[in-house]
């Protein structure tokens, strides 16, 4: 019980350390952004505050760059070092976002000299946002932070997929079904009873399908090795030492059902153009005697079905003749004989005990898609924040009169005005968020993919998904404007709009007037 509490406490602390700096930076940027907005639209934001914010953002970029540089070195790091680099980069990301707090208020002042050149709905929308600066700044800031989070996660996920694809090593031939000991409770091998039950379950689910079997010595402490002279096996080979089994396993490795099999002959499966006549076996006579003995057996050459299948195949009879007891290591369904469908794999999983065996079908590298719902939620939050600005009346009576005069009493003008207001808010927030997210994503990718194993680190260049970024930057403003631009039934809405205007109502009331449904009498 104490172990469980300690584990959960560590998980909570670790999660807080990861999400704490970005959340604190987001909270600070919202608070500073709202407080930096002058209450009077004629009053300009302090340029000193803008410069200070940009300096803080630049410092955050430098901190993230330091973390990326440290993680980009071709060396291995322990868990604590990699965690420290990640926290350093996250602190830099928080500084980057926090320093952008004064920019939304400053952006509202930029279009002021150019508003006369804009179309009437855009011109009036820009002026209206400047009048209601506090609300507009809050909305732009929320759009910016949500978009930055979504963009950063997208860039990191794309880079992570590129890195994982370069490091990926298949566990079998394409389309192969493997049934291996479950790692759920640290099971390292099948017992004889479990192997029989698993094979029976596979035969019931896949009737008539041949099942190959890879074996290994029962005692792992008893040495057994093979040597084929100058033939070197690649490090990414699935069976790096040797493969032990019968003719079904041999033909699975070669991918050729006509491969000759002799239970007294080893097979060197390699892509190299070499000639091998024998293989030297090194083994212990018994488990209690560590003296290594050697024996040469006849060998032939065969071509692998896949470069990862290169190995030295040793028939099971040879090991049994040396006094070794063997047990199943994995059960295999050759894809040359039967391609297992996802439905068959699911039904086989239901038949097997998760604590004993686990199934795996080699389908090549499959990038993770778990980040897509999170990114979609972030962009939906940004869209909702932009849409919130599009609702409501004009900022003051003068704006309403100008809008009414410009539209000549048309309800469509008010809809275009609201759509322009939401689109401008979305555009400013999305552009800021896209720039921030791209910078943060590219710099955070290095600490997030730092190697912590003893393998040689593989660093591959990755491309920023510019097409997706451009689609978001262009799509969010258009989507935020679309609901207000949607035309309403003209024949039904026009009389009500006119009557609303004659009664002295506002243009917004005319736009929101709904046609009255008339009851028709049945004949």
- CA dist 87 and 64 (Å) reads 10
pLDDT score at 500: 46
The reply to whether 386 and 344 lie within a common domain is: no
The reply to whether 192 and 271 lie within a common domain is: yes
The reply to whether 143 and 61 lie within a common domain is: yes
Three-state secondary-structure class, residue 214: strand
Three-state secondary-structure class, residue 212: strand
pLDDT score at 139: 87
The reply to whether 357 and 373 lie within a common domain is: no
Asked whether residue 446 is domain-assigned, the answer is yes
The reply to whether 347 and 380 lie within a common domain is: no
pLDDT digits (tens, 9 = 90+) for 268-314: 999 888 888 999 999 988 777 778 889 999 999 999 999 899 999 99
Residue 328 in contact with residue 213, Cβ under 8 Å?
A: yes
The reply to whether 192 and 332 lie within a common domain is: yes
Tokens (6 digits) for 266: 């080893």
Residue from 40, 63, 134, 59 nearest 100 by CA: 59
368: left (phi over 0), alpha (psi -120 to 50) or beta: beta
pLDDT score at 450: 77
The reply to whether 351 and 471 lie within a common domain is: no
Asked whether residue 253 is domain-assigned, the answer is yes
Residue 439 backbone phi and psi in degrees, to 5: -65, -50
Asked whether residue 17 is domain-assigned, the answer is no
The reply to whether 122 and 215 lie within a common domain is: no
Residue 38 in contact with residue 105, Cβ under 8 Å?
A: yes
What's the full length of the chain, in residues?
Answer: 523
pLDDT digits (tens, 9 = 90+) for 415-471: 667 777 888 888 889 999 999 999 999 999 888 887 766 666 667 777 889 999 999
Asked whether residue 515 is domain-assigned, the answer is no
Domain boundary among 361, 392, 416: 361
The reply to whether 182 and 276 lie within a common domain is: yes
Q: How far is CA 163 from CA 166, 455, 458, 515, in A?
A: 5, 14, 8, 58
pLDDT score at 510: 45
The reply to whether 411 and 336 lie within a common domain is: no
Asked whether residue 520 is domain-assigned, the answer is no
pLDDT score at 4: 53
Asked whether residue 12 is domain-assigned, the answer is no
User: Residue 120's CB: how many other CB atoms inside 10 A?
Assistant: 16
Residue 143 in contact with residue 426, Cβ under 8 Å?
A: yes
Under DSSP, the state recorded for 264 is T
Asked whether residue 511 is domain-assigned, the answer is no
Residues in the chain where the model's pLDDT stays below 70 = 1-8, 10-11, 14-15, 17-23, 25, 39-42, 73-79, 111-127, 130, 184-188, 390-416, 452-458, 483-523
Asked whether residue 16 is domain-assigned, the answer is no
The reply to whether 461 and 342 lie within a common domain is: no
Half-sphere exposure of 349 (CA within 13 A, CB side): 13
Domain boundary among 361, 394, 420: 361
- CA dist 147 and 434 (Å) reads 6
Structural domain range at position 90: 24-168+368-504
The separation between CA 79 and the C-alpha centre of its own chain, rounded to angstroms, equals 22
The predicted model scores a pTM of 0.76
Burial (0-12, 13-18, 19+ Cβ within 10 Å), 347? middle
Residue 315 in contact with residue 264, Cβ under 8 Å?
A: yes
Domain boundary among 335, 361, 387: 361
pLDDT score at 254: 94
Which residue, chain included where needed, has tokens 């890879």?
Answer: 214
Domain count, the chain: 2
The reply to whether 162 and 202 lie within a common domain is: no
């Amino acid at each position: 019980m104490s172990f469980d509490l300690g584990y959960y406490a560590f998980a909570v602390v670790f999660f807080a350390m990861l999400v704490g700096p970005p959340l604190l930076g987001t909270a600070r940027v919202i608070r500073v952004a709202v407080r930096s907005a002058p209450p009077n639209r004629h009053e300009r934001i302090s340029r000193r505050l803008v410069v200070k914010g940009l300096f803080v953002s630049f410092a955050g970029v430098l901190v993230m760059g330091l973390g990326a540089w440290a993680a980009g070195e071709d060396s291995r790091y322990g868990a604590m070092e990699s965690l420290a680099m990640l926290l350093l980069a996250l602190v830099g990301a928080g500084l980057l976002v926090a320093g952008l707090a004064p920019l939304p208020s400053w952006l509202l002042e930029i279009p002021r000299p150019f508003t006369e050149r804009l179309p009437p709905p855009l011109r009036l929308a820009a002026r209206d946002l400047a009048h209601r600066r506090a609300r507009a700044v809050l909305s732009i800031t929320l759009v910016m932070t949500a978009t930055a989070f979504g963009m950063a996660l997208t860039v990191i996920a794309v880079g992570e997929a590129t890195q994982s694809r370069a490091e990926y090593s298949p566990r079998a031939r394409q389309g192969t079904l493997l049934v291996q000991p479950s790692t759920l409770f640290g099971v390292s091998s099948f017992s004889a009873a479990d192997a029989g039950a698993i094979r029976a379950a596979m035969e019931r689910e896949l009737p008539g399908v041949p099942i190959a079997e890879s074996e290994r010595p029962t005692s792992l402490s008893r040495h057994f090795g093979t040597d084929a002279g100058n033939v070197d096996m690649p490090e990414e080979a699935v069976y790096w030492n040797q493969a032990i089994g019968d003719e079904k396993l041999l033909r699975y490795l070669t991918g050729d059902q006509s491969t000759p099999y002799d239970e007294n002959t080893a097979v060197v499966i390699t892509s190299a153009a070499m000639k091998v006549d024998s293989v030297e076996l090194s083994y212990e006579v018994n488990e209690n005697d560590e003296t290594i003995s050697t024996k040469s057996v006849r060998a032939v050459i065969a071509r692998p079905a896949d470069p990862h299948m290169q190995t030295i195949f040793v028939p099971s009879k040879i090991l049994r003749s040396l006094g070794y007891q063997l047990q199943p290591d994995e059960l295999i369904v050759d894809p040359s004989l039967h391609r297992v469908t996802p439905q068959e794999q699911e039904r086989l999983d239901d038949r097997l005990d998760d604590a004993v065996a686990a199934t795996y079908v080699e389908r090549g590298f499959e990038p993770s898609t778990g980040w897509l719902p999170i990114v979609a939620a972030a962009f939906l939050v940004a869209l909702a924040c932009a849409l919130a600005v599009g609702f409501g009346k004009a900022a003051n009576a003068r704006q309403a009169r100008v809008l009414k005069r410009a539209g000549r009493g048309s309800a469509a003008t008010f809809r275009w005005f609201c759509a322009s207001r939401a689109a401008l808010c979305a555009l400013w927030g999305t552009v800021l968020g896209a720039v921030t997210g791209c910078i943060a994503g590219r710099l955070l990718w290095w600490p997030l993919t730092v190697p912590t194993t003893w393998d040689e680190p593989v660093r591959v260049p990755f491309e920023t998904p510019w097409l997706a970024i451009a689609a978001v930057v262009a799509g969010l403003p258009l989507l935020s404007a679309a609901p207000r631009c949607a035309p309403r039934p003209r024949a039904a809405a026009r009389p009500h709009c006119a009557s609303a205007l004659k009664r002295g109502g506002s243009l917004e009331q005319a736009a929101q007037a709904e046609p009255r449904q008339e009851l028709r009498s049945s004949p």
